[in-house]
Chain A
Amino acid sequence: MKVGLFIPCYIDQFYPQVGIATLQLLEKLGCEVEYPQGQTCCGQPMANSGYEHLTHQCNSLFIKNFADYDYIVGPSGSCVLHIKDHLHDPAAETAATHIRERIYELTEFLTDVLRVQNLPARFPCKVGLHQSCHGQRGLGLAQMSELVAAPFSKPEKLLRMVEGVELVPLDRQDECCGFGGTFCVTEEAVSVKMGKDRVVDHVKHGAEVITGTDVSCLMHMEGILRRQHAGVKVMHIAEILNQNIHEQANS
């Protein structure tokens, strides 16, 4: 099974450790992983701003980079959803369709394709799980609180396999953090207020680390936590799932 590793642009530039953890975790679980070097961005920043018509070059590039893999896996629900919903290219529609059908967010790849039942990881820490909207509602990574339906959560299922992780309860289990792409600067006041409120929910319940499946949401909350000089850290879920069984938490 050949896996193409999709590392979204802002993770590549600002959170390389998330890319490294994702790669190591997938290899640890027996995947043959390749990172196509020509990759940049999924095109979502333009599309969500109303400029989907400017994304065709990003689309062609993405198809060029990822058409030859059995699976494409990325540590970001939001970017994966964008590809799943919007990757098209009239000149290479078969390849685009293959990618749309074969692209997975990391945690759903672990639970649904690799069918991971246990993980050799240890992370003794109180952890708050932020359910990022696009992953949760768009990809179906977890049940939505609005629906009258049985609860489930793929990222939570994986976190529960990690020895020592203590998941803290939240007052609002799936409220948006307010990042929202360019929304975070065009609607600065509301974006920050939403982020502050999310952070309070985690801190109030004793979280030492806030984790999630999307670095964008975590980056936003981290920015707020650091401005407040709060001791709480943010870590992408790949970093926790990849914690070596023999290592100490937070090392």
Chain B
Amino acid sequence: MNRQTADHATLADRFNENEPRVDWHDQTLWWVRAKRDKMARSIPEWEQLRDTASAIKRNALGNLYEYLIQFEQQATQNGAIVHWAADAAEHNRIVTGILQQHGVRHLVKSKSMLTEECHLNPHLAANGIEVIDTDLGERIVQLAKEPPSHIVLPCIHKKKEEIGELFHEHLGTPAGNADPQFLTAAARQHLRKEFLQAKAAVTGVNFAVAETGEMVVCTNEGNADMGAHLADIHIACMGIEKIIPQRKHLGVFLRLLARSATGQPITTYSSHFRQPRAGQELHIVLVDNGRSRQLGREDFRNSLKCIRCGACMNTCPVYRRSGGHSYHTAVAGPIGAILAPNLDMKDYADLPFASTLCGSCSNVCPVKIDIHQQLYKWRQVLVKEGHTTASKTAGMKMMSGVLSAPRTYRAAGKMGRWVMRAFPGMVNNRLNPWYKQREMPAPPAQSFSQWYEKNKKS
């Protein structure tokens, strides 16, 4: 992948150079959160639904092995070909192998965060296979040569004028036309050609039902269906945590997913794929890529309950003001910040710290993942594993030393306040990140403890 060297704080700092744009990004996503609130409130048993979904996922994760085997048996009986991939590289090899076997040089792909996580597109490109992303938002970021910035709204960071320019450059639409309806129609014409030409279609999977071996793919654009129904080969790629035990459980998740994601009662299409049509090949690639490892981490296990609705991103006050790309990983936002360190602690050691631990994410989550508590726990793990700096450790040790010795603490406080009053420039300077855009608190002559000593002590 395009490994970024800059951390979240640096990338967020850059994002904040254009404040009106930050305002626009924040308000756009807050509007989605508000739509979600309205939809959630239209269901009196909303909290019960969340409890139920969380419990079903708990069961699925607790018995994952059995459910996966059951799913494989059912899917194979239905006529699908099931593949197992231990990691991203194996997943990419399997998909490339299927395509090469059939001489496919060109394929359409509907949204799949798993293939983003595995960096399938660049891998296929390196093997001479062209991928056309057919989700409108994903197509837009693909044309812009950018990764998605949001798992549900991949191009939410782009303004319509910028999309107009991209389409002018790549699809030949008239310069200066940024009318969303016009641009969508142009994209539709462009994508239709791609759908008709493609021999193979890759789709993601929202839910895989162990009981029946079927997969459910949720889209608003019907692009997964267009791809899968027209192509000779359908390859469905899924993380192993997408399993749910029974078909009846779909009723719980489908009610929660779109309401949480975009404030819609349900996605326009909830398509069930069970067996290949005559003459078609249906491949299902079951991918681990660190999920078993995460399942073994008790504190972080239930991060695998995630149904990728993106509600935690829309509600996150940090995400809204730092943008998805600041997380430099396929799944951004609070959920990304607890998933990514499992993939690579060193590369993603910054992410659990990109949070105020406000807890809004945990309460908006439709499957009740304790996201902010896991952020706190990841911080402890990362420091213990050495993914911190020597200066931070030294600073923390000093702070701990001062704060656990009352006399030192009082002397340091008194001295500090005196310095601040006598030489305000010592703290009010460029080296103090607080002071850059905020005034320091006015240091009082006496602390509370000094006041108490004088006025209260009997």
Chain A residues whose CB sits within 8 angstroms of the CB of B380 once the complex forms? 50, 52-53
Could you tell me the distance in whole angstroms from the C-beta of B9 to the nearest C-beta in chain A? 5
Q: Chain A CB within 10 Å — which of B13, B399, B453 has the most?
A: B399
Q: Compute how far the CA of A213 lies from the CA of B448 in the bound complex, rounded to whole angstroms.
A: 18
Q: Does A29 contact B (CB under 8 A)?
A: no
The answer to whether B413 touches A13, judged by C-beta atoms less than 8 angstroms apart, is: yes
List 10 A-B residue pairs with CB atoms under 8 Å apart, sorted by A's residue number: A7-B448, A13-B416, A16-B451, A50-B380, A53-B380, A55-B400, A138-B359, A186-B353, A187-B354, A219-B441
Closest to B438 in A: A223
Complex interface: stretch among B124-132, B220-228, B271-279, B401-409: B401-409
Q: Does B388 contact A (CB under 8 A)?
A: yes
Complex interface: stretch among B43-51, B281-289, B328-336: B43-51
Cross-interface CB contact of A193 among B321, B392, B400, cutoff 8 Å: B321
The answer to whether A14 touches B451, judged by C-beta atoms less than 8 angstroms apart, is: no
Q: Compute how far the CA of A48 lies from the CA of B47 in the bound complex, rounded to whole angstroms.
A: 29
Q: Compute how far the CA of A49 lies from the CA of B350 in the bound complex, rounded to whole angstroms.
A: 11
The answer to whether A49 touches B379, judged by C-beta atoms less than 8 angstroms apart, is: yes
With A14-B444, A48-B379, A146-B364 known as contacts, the answer to whether A188 contacts B436 (CB < 8 A) is: yes
Q: Does A41 contact B (CB under 8 A)?
A: yes
Q: Compute how far the CA of A53 lies from the CA of B322 in the bound complex, rounded to whole angstroms.
A: 30
Closest to B316 in A: A176
Chain A residues whose CB sits within 8 angstroms of the CB of B8 once the complex forms? 187
Q: Chain A CB within 10 Å — which of B315, B396, B448 has the most?
A: B448
Q: Does A116 contact B (CB under 8 A)?
A: no
Q: Does A172 contact B (CB under 8 A)?
A: yes
Q: Does B434 contact A (CB under 8 A)?
A: yes
The answer to whether B315 touches A146, judged by C-beta atoms less than 8 angstroms apart, is: yes
Bitwise interface map of B from 444 to 458 toward A, beta carbon under 8 Å scored 1, else 0: 101111111100110
Chain A residues whose CB sits within 8 angstroms of the CB of B417 once the complex forms? 13-14
Q: Does A46 contact B (CB under 8 A)?
A: yes
Among A152-189, those with CB < 8 Å from B are: 172, 174-176, 178-181, 183-189
Closest to B360 in A: A146
The answer to whether B19 touches A227, judged by C-beta atoms less than 8 angstroms apart, is: no
Chain B residues whose CB sits within 8 angstroms of the CB of A223 once the complex forms? 434, 438-441
Q: Does B269 contact A (CB under 8 A)?
A: no
- A: residues with CB less than 8 A from B are 7, 9, 11-20, 23, 35, 37-41, 43, 45-55, 57-58, 60-61, 133-134, 137-138, 144-149, 172, 174-176, 178-181, 183-195, 197, 219-220, 222-224, 226-227
Q: Does B318 contact A (CB under 8 A)?
A: yes
The answer to whether A11 touches B448, judged by C-beta atoms less than 8 angstroms apart, is: yes
Secondary structure type dominating chain B contacts? helix
Q: Does B437 contact A (CB under 8 A)?
A: yes
9 more contacts with CB within 8 A, not counting A146-B360, A188-B13, A194-B317, are A45-B403, A47-B376, A53-B384, A57-B400, A61-B406, A137-B362, A146-B363, A220-B438, A224-B437
Chain B residues whose CB sits within 8 angstroms of the CB of A147 once the complex forms? 47, 363
With A35-B449, A138-B359 known as contacts, the answer to whether A51 contacts B396 (CB < 8 A) is: yes
Q: Does B355 contact A (CB under 8 A)?
A: yes
Chain B residues whose CB sits within 8 angstroms of the CB of A226 once the complex forms? 438-439
Cross-interface CB contact of B447 among A12, A41, A134, cutoff 8 Å: A12
The answer to whether B360 touches A190, judged by C-beta atoms less than 8 angstroms apart, is: no
Closest to A185 in B: B433
Chain B residues whose CB sits within 8 angstroms of the CB of A41 once the complex forms? 403, 409
Closest to B318 in A: A190
The answer to whether A133 touches B356, judged by C-beta atoms less than 8 angstroms apart, is: yes
Among B1-46, those with CB < 8 Å from A are: 8-9, 12-13, 15-16, 19, 22-23, 26, 30, 37, 40-41, 43-44, 46
Chain B residues whose CB sits within 8 angstroms of the CB of A149 once the complex forms? 47
Q: Compute how far the CA of A60 lies from the CA of B384 in the bound complex, rounded to whole angstroms.
A: 22
Closest to A49 in B: B396
Chain A residues whose CB sits within 8 angstroms of the CB of B26 once the complex forms? 197
Task: Give 8 nearest A-B pairs by CB, closest first.
Answer: A180-B356, A223-B438, A57-B404, A50-B383, A19-B448, A50-B379, A176-B358, A133-B358
